Amino acid sequence: MDCVFCKIVNGDIPSLKVYEDEHTLVFMDIARDVDGHMIAIPKRHVKNILDCDEATLIHLITTVKLVANYCVEKCGYEGVNLLNASDESAGQSVPHFHIHIIPRTKNDQVDAWPKFDGALNKIEEIYEKIKIK
């Protein structure tokens, strides 16, 4: 498989492993865009949350919580941003399910929240489309 994250899991590409267990891996993001930026992945290849089985999702979110709590309880951070894009239409650039973990402090000057241009449709119309019936 030609997946960069699978190559990291297999040890074909070196990484700075923050946490690893039987099902998941968390490693430092090499983008160097913000201090502490980590990526959490399931070791089993799934493209994104849309095709992820429940057990894999539970393992991954449990790991994300463990790492997030560690950052706050042991490393001096006050919170975290969790970011995910599922599918190319949402901006997913690596086709292996992953969650970005960005540890935060109150005055770190990081703006990790997306800037939106405004809704195009009435909220009631979108609500009718997406509500689960």
The residues annotated as belonging to the active site are 98
- How far out from the chain centre does Cα 26 lie? 10
Q: State whether residue 50 is helix, strand or coil.
A: helix
C-alpha separations of 88 from 29, 82, 112, 123 in Å: 19, 18, 20, 25
DSSP per residue over 109-126, as a string? ----SPP----SS-HHHH
